[in-house]
Amino acid sequence: MRIVFFTAMFLLTFSFAEQFERLALPKELQGNIIPNFFVLAGNNKDELYRDDLKINAKKAGAKRVVLSFFATYCVSCREGFTVLKKNASELEKQGVQVYLINVGEDIHVYGNKVSEMVKKHAGNFPFYFDPYGNSLDNFGFKEEIVLPLTLVLDSDLRALGILVGSAGKDFPQVLWEEF
């Protein structure tokens, strides 16, 4: 009896990590397309614009575009990356394009660290930099944000949902199944 009780307690304790936390879409993301934005490539010079995402999605026949915002200090981001890396082929099969975007860190100081982190934990997913967090500002995240923040879009770049915090058991299926 006591074993059952403690097992139940144990499971209850960890049941909070079952699902990703969802956020309501800010009004900036409620239109037919997300607001314009751009992020920088690792050389601090080349840019990736919103329209580039659309072109890439069309070219690859993707059904979903996922923007995953992260930082080097974020432990949960690494865990999420590992799951993404493990499911890279499944994501491709399901037509999900993932872009990793480093937020709020100086590219000159953290560039190499970000590169190592992505290579080690996320593998070959493309990664970009948004040193001043402009894209999140444009998307309506004016207050302090929780990382990792994952923005799920359809192929026309219409925002479908926002996931925040540690990856739950529903990750990464949530990226192609829900919404």
- Residue 40's DSSP bridge partners are 47, 129
DSSP per-residue string spanning 66-123 = EEEEE-TT-HHHHHHHHHHHHTHHHHHHTTEEEEEEEESS-HHHHHHHHHHHIIIIIT
Of the two residues 43 and 89, which places its CB atom closer to other proteins in the complex? Answer: 43
What's the min distance (Å) between Cβ of 31 and other proteins? 16
Is 152 in contact with 125 (CB distance < 8 Å)?
no
Rounded Cα gap, residues 132 and 147, in angstroms: 15
Asked whether position 93 contacts other proteins by CB under 8 A, the answer is: no
Answer for which of 57, 62, 107, 175 binds other proteins (CB under 8 A) is 107
Cβ–Cβ < 8 Å for 64, 96 = yes
Contact with other proteins (CB under 8 A): which of 34, 62, 111, 172?
111
Query: Is 165 an interacting residue with respect to other proteins (CB under 8 A)?
Result: no
8 touching other proteins, by CB under 8 A: no
Contact 171, 18 (CB under 8 A): no
Give the chain's radius of gyration (CA, Å): 17
DSSP-assigned beta bridge partners for residue 69: 101, 149
Q: Does 73 bind other proteins (CB under 8 A)?
A: no
Nearest residue (CB) to other proteins, 35 versus 95 = 35
Residue 59 in the binding site for other proteins (CB under 8 A):
no
x-or-dash string of contact with other proteins, 9-48, rule CB under 8 A = -x--xx---------------------x-xxx-xxxx-x-
Q: Cα separation of 88 and 101, whole Å? A: 17
Going residue by residue from 114 to 153, which x/- string records binding to other proteins, judged by CB under 8 A? -x---x----------xxx-x-------------------
Least separation, in Å, of the C-beta of 42 and other proteins?
7
Residues near other proteins, by CB under 8 A: 2, 6, 10, 13-14, 36, 38-40, 42-45, 47, 49, 75, 106-108, 111-112, 115, 119, 130-132, 134
